[in-house]
Amino acid sequence: MKITRKAYAKINLGLDVIGKRDDGYHLVKMIMQNVDIYDTLTFEDTKDGEITLISADDGVPTDASNLICRAALQLKETFSVDKGVRIELEKRIPIAAGMAGGSTDAAAAYLALNELWGLSLSKEDLCRMAVKLGADIPYCIVGGTALSEGIGEVLSPVDNKAEYQLVVAKPDIAVSTGWVYTELDSHEIKSHPDIDGVKSAIEAGDVRGICEKIGNVLEPVTVSKYPVITDIEKLLEDNGAVRAFMTGSGPTVFAVYDDSKKAAKGYEAVKRSGLARQFFLTKPIDPGQ
């Protein structure tokens, strides 16, 4: 049997850090939103019992360190699965970008292997296993628009009534999420974004309201090392965006547009500027709908 899945990237419509657990994990409060940028994964069961990953992209590891392989191994060992799997990954989501690329690929692996290996686990079961591998993977299993709390695993769906376009641009730098969180500990968080306010604006379909409330406490940390992030945001705001923000730990910027012509203009402007290496004209998406 062969299963093909799209694994969607996410942006953060606001990200706050409200504390730290004794084990060092940060407690977050953020809005997660899937966008129409995806990797494609194909899973084929094999009789040899091996987990094999193939990708044409040199930027991703294809050994046991890949989150896809780690998810597969966890399922195989926990449920004593005899079968193996051959996985092909077509990578489009920028890597080390703050878009949960690795986490969403792992989520696709949990969902596909549950089916391929006939495990009959619920999404809740999969989320409980997945959080051990990465705090953002449970959201990637559920998808859509969600408020994410705890270390990222406490999820509440948000009813998205907002319609907007996005330009997503990643400068030619890779940012390690671990580095940003470590740096955050030596920075003072000067102001906390109004995440509840963002949630209400999303439910009211108020695009400008969303943009007024969004904030990301990780942005000053990443920007202090990579000021090009601010240059991209300014360029997109000068080219018709309502506002532009960094997603996750960065360095990817997303600009929110309430008009598709303006979004196309912003996309062309960032493409011409040379400030970004990867760029997309895209939109929010709910894969479950």
Residues 10, 91, 170, 213: which is the catalytic one? 10
Closer to ligand ATP by Cβ: residue 212 or 226? 226
The yes or no reply on residue 248 touching ligand ATP (CB under 6 A) is yes
Which range of residues in 28-36, 63-71, 76-84, 160-168 is near ligand ATP by CB under 6 A? 63-71
Q: How many residues bind ligand ATP (CB under 6 A)?
A: 19
Place of tokens 């006939």: 118
Q: Which is nearer to ligand ATP, 240 or 248 (CB)?
A: 248
For residue 136, indicate whether it is catalytic: yes
Q: Which range touches ligand ATP (CB under 6 A), out of 89-97, 181-189, 253-261, 275-283?
A: 89-97
Tokens 């703050």 sit at which residue?
98
* Active-site residue (options: 16, 91, 136, 199): 136
Angle, to 10 degrees, between the axis of helix 123-130 and the axis of helix 101-116?
A: 130
51 φ, ψ (degrees, to nearest 5): -105, 115
- Name the one range near ligand ATP by CB under 6 A: 18-26, 96-104, 218-226, 233-241: 96-104
Handedness of CA 251, 227, 176, 32 (dihedral sign): negative
What does DSSP assign to residue 80? T
Least separation in angstroms between residue 233's CB and ligand ATP is 18
User: Counting contacts by CB under 6 A, is residue 41 touching ligand ATP?
Assistant: no
Q: Are 236 and 160 in contact (CB under 8 A)?
A: no
Cα distance between residue 67 and residue 75, in whole Å: 12
Report the C-alpha gap between 35 and 167 in whole angstroms: 10
Contact footprint for ligand ATP (CB under 6 A): 60-61, 66-68, 95-103, 105, 136, 177, 248-249
